[in-house]
Amino acid sequence: MQQFEADTWYDHRGRIIFTNSSQGLPGMGLPRTDWNEVCALQAGTVKRTVTDTTLPTGPVEREITWQALFTKCERETDHATVWRKLEKQNRTSAT
């Protein structure tokens, strides 16, 4: 999992704005050229109109809006933090 997340970026709401992973998430987020232009935004939004072809009624135009600040997921660090808290809770409840 970590290899696919190494260059995956999320917006302030947790939505993928860019990923280098073409295997699991093709077409997800912005293309690299667009990403390179907006990756340093500290505030504001980025919008993109896409054609949603997943509906049985036919294609629908949708606007996707990402909210800056953009960050990468640090899953290993997050898991370590959660485990420390759980272990602390277990020690507290055992006494």
* Overall number of domains in the chain: 1
Residue 15 CA to residue 34 CA, distance in Å, equals 16
Residue 11 CA to residue 7 CA, distance in Å, equals 13
Percent of the chain topping pLDDT 90: 53
Residue 39 CA to residue 1 CA, distance in Å, equals 23
Tell me if 66 sits within 8 A of 15, measured CB to CB.
yes
Indicate the DSSP class of residue 14.
S
Q: Which domain holds residue 52?
A: 2-94
Q: Tell me what pLDDT residue 27 has.
A: 73
Predicted TM-score (pTM) of this structure: 0.69
